[in-house]
Structure formats: structure tokens, C-alpha cells
Amino acid sequence: MKAAIFKEYGGCEKLEYTDFELPKINYNEVLIEVKACALNHLDLWIRQGLRGSALKLPHILGNDIAGIVKKVDKITNNFKIGDEVVISPGISCGNCQFCLQGKDSYCRSYEIIGAMNYHGGYAEYVKVPIQNVLPFNFNLSFEEVASLPLVFLTAWNMLTTKGKIKMGETILIYGAGSGVGSAAIQIAKMHGLNVISTVGNNEKIQKAKDLGADEIINHNTDNLREKIKEFTNKQGVDIVFDHIGEKTWENSIKCLKVGGRMVTCGATTGPQGITDIRYIYSKQLSILGSYMASKNELIEVLKFVQLNKLKPVVDTILPLQKASQAHKLMEERKHFGKIVLTP
């Protein structure tokens, strides 16, 4: 089969479109013919060698996968060849106390397809555990379906499970044009929140408003904290949705109102955030961490997708052989929504 692989860590040029061995499925696994695979920032970090994990190289990236069942093991009867499916990206043991409580991402053996031991979807075929395969029957393209899993389940967990958002609250969501930001705006609006979001250029403002953002801040030209004061009558926001990390950390804390909370899931700009502890205790703030989510949460998200209350946002579709170009496009941060590869 054809795949986009990397044999050593480094820049976009390290991605190579080449022949690769067709995966052989084992017990309780399914072979998927990949129709679309969406990019995530996680792909960039892994390719650059920034995650600190010792991957066995060469490696195939890609967490967000939609495709068709090509082969199943002899005892699997949940799916048949030809079924259209989407893949839940998180793999857990299924037996520990956390898995039995439905907290998949708390599992000590938790891993993400395409990020650790399992090869991902930058290929014509991928093998995955049967428990990670979900059917879909809504009227979306494979490219749109592949744009759903990781960012929507992450945003859902951050806002509903961890953040416990409530109707009427005001939220600051960074990066309206990012996959997770565009998902968060929709989820927040669906729950009746007032949404303030940020963009990097004025061309993205209308797109953010079309998703439901009530107020927009250009983080390159506007003073973020002054704008938050303006939009909230100097009260601050109830909740901050932060996936940026070091660059936004201090502002995130200082933009919160008394009793506010920040939910964080990533450190795109670096892991070292400045924290004035006095703000935390004097304003009685909460800082909540979120890492992925459970398959059940993804199933919940897909229900709202089927009801047309949530929708994937696709910016660019490229053929798999242009994977390095896709990575470069993501690094430039000019896109709005997901970048998707098709074999």
C-alpha cells in the first residue's frame, strides 16, 4: 500500500510518500480502507520529535480517520465489509477501574492511534481495534467525518465534562480557526453561552461569527484583556477555553471573573505558563486539565452531528502524497478549520 511516513524526526520534508507493508489484522482488529484522514497539531509535534516518546520508526501519523471496513477477523460480526465507519482515536485497556467507569483517557495504557504504537491514517489502509470502530449514517462526506473525532471529543470533554458549562455564561475561546476552537464555539453556543473568540487576522472574523461567536478579538492587533473588560462590563469571563499554553496562560487567568475557571488541553506555544498564585486564591479560580475523552463522549457528539446541531469545518483537502505540504499549511496557521488528506 501507499503511505506517508517519516523515518527520522524533523521538518515537513521528512514526510515521504512511499510503499509500506499492508497491515495484518490480529484478533479483535479491523482493517480499514482509509478514505480521509484529518490533520491535528499532534501530528506536527510527533514528526518534530517534541513529545518525548520513543516511537519505532518509520512511523505513520494520523489520528482522525474515516473509511470503509475492508477486513474483519473471523469471529467479529459487529461490522461487515463495506460498512462506512469513523474511528475513535483513543485506545485503552478496557479492563482497569477507569475504563470500567467510562473514563478511557485515565487508563494507564491509554494511547492515541497514529501517535504511539499504532500506525495512523496517513495511508491507504490502517488496522484498528474493533472497539474503536463506529458506524456513521449521516449525510456527510468522508472528509467531513474525518474532521470530527479528536477535536470535537476534546472540546466536548473540556466544556461539558470538565468545565460544566451553563446557559448564560460567558466564555473566551482561543483560536476560532483551529479545529478544536471551531468545535468549541459550536458546542458552547449549543449550550446557550455567550462566546468571545480570537482570530489571527481579520479575514477569519466573519467565519468565526458564522460559527456562532458573539464577539471577536484579533489577538495580533487588539489588547485582549482590555477587550474582555469591554465585552464583560469589567467583570471578566466565567470560563476560558485554552489550548494555546505558554503564550496565553497569564492572560487566561487574568481574564477570569471571581470564581471563574479555566480548562486547558494543550501547550501549542510552550509548556511554561506564568502564574501569579495570588490571582488563583484571591479570585477563587479553578484550573482544570483535560486530555482527550471517552468513546462514549464521541458517540454523544455524533448524535448532535446527526441532528445538524454540530458540524465539521473543513478548510483544505489534499491528496496523501502532499502530506508535507499539508503540514506546512498547518504550521503557517492561515487555515480556518481542518486540513484533510485523501489517499
Q: Over the stretch 286-309, which tens digit does the pLDDT of each residue have?
A: 999 999 999 999 999 999 999 999
pLDDT surpasses 80 at 152: yes
Per DSSP, the three-state class of 282 is: helix
Reported as a single tens digit per residue, the pLDDT across 48-88 is 987 656 789 999 999 999 999 999 986 666 788 999 999 99
pLDDT tier for residue 270 given thresholds of 50, 70 and 90:
confident
For residues 225 and 214, what is the distance between their CA atoms, to the nearest angstrom?
17
pLDDT tens column, 102-120: 999 999 999 999 998 899 9
pLDDT computed for residue 101 by the predictor: 94
Query: What mean pLDDT is reported for the chain?
Result: 95
Q: In whole angstroms, how large is the CA radius of gyration of the chain?
A: 20
* Each residue's pLDDT tens digit, 21-39: 999 998 889 999 999 999 9
Domains of the chain by start residue, with CATH: 2-148+312-342 (3.90.180.10), 152-289 (3.40.50.720)
C-alpha to C-alpha distances, 260 to 131, 185, 245, 298, 326, nearest whole angstrom: 37, 18, 18, 27, 37
Query: What's the pLDDT at 54?
Result: 73
Cβ–Cβ < 8 Å for 61, 43: yes
pLDDT for the residue numbered 268: 85
Closest CA relative to residue 174, chosen from 72, 120, 245, 94 = 245
